[in-house]
């Protein structure tokens, strides 16, 4: 069965390590016949959640009209959502965190988003795998709250400079994640 997949990236480096893994995943998913829509959060204007709880009351996901309103309909229609990002200071980069926070709008508005798959592609500078927990754990908990099931995680330590990912099997692992769709 062909699926609708949304990939949301969170790095401002267009050719960075997490972007390379996202590309490997997208290529593999499209080769399997899935439809993939990619959003590069760092290149978009997505403000923080204002907790006004007027989500979807204006006909848009967020009453504060920004690029999340472009992303939201695709998340609603998607079968699977994959987040790809580097670790920033042991946590989720701000460029993608606002997108993740605004997913709250689906809860406020009572939108049924249960049953979707959630994938995670993450890399970090340090070799210590626990550094990835600052991204992995919040995404796993968010998926559980939304009643999404985890389709898999690609967690690659030890990459900092653009191109370092090529010294690892991160792109291969990201491509293999498409098998779980």
**Above pLDDT 90, what percent of the chain?**
98
Confidence of residue 1 (pLDDT cuts 50, 70, 90): confident
Boundaries of domain holding 141: 4-180
Question: Looking at the 3D structure of the chain, how many domains does it have?
Answer: 1
pLDDT tens for each residue of 108-133: 999 999 999 999 999 999 999 999 99
**Phi and psi (nearest 5°) for 156?**
-120, 115
pLDDT one-digit tens code per residue, 122-167 = 999 999 999 999 999 999 999 999 999 999 999 999 999 999 999 9
- Residue range 91-109: average pLDDT? 96
* Apex 116 CA angle, 115 and 118, nearest 5: 130
Q: Where would I find the beta strands (DSSP E) of 43-174? A: 80-86, 117-123, 149-156
- What is the pLDDT, as a whole number, of residue 30? 98
- CATH code, domain with 80: 3.40.50.360
């Amino acid at each position: 069965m062909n699926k609708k997949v949304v990939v949301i990236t969170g790095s401002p480096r267009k050719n960075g390590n997490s972007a390379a893994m996202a590309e490997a995943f997208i290529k593999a998913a499209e080769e399997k016949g899935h439809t993939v829509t990619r959003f590069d959060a760092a290149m978009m204007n997505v403000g923080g959640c204002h907790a006004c709880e007027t989500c979807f009351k204006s006909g848009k996901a967020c009453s504060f009209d920004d690029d999340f309103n472009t992303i939201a309909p695709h998340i609603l229609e998607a079968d699977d959502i994959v987040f790809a990002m580097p670790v920033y200071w042991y946590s989720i980069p701000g460029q993608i965190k606002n997108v993740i926070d605004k997913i709250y709008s689906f809860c406020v508005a009572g939108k049924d988003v249960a049953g979707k798959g959630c994938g995670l592609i993450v890399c970090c500078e340090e070799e210590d795998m626990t550094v990835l927990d600052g991204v992995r754990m919040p995404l796993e908990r968010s998926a559980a709250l939304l009643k999404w099931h985890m389709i898999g995680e690609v967690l690659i330590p030890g990459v900092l400079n653009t191109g370092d990912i090529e010294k690892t099997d991160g792109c291969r692992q990201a491509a293999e994640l498409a098998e779980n769709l």
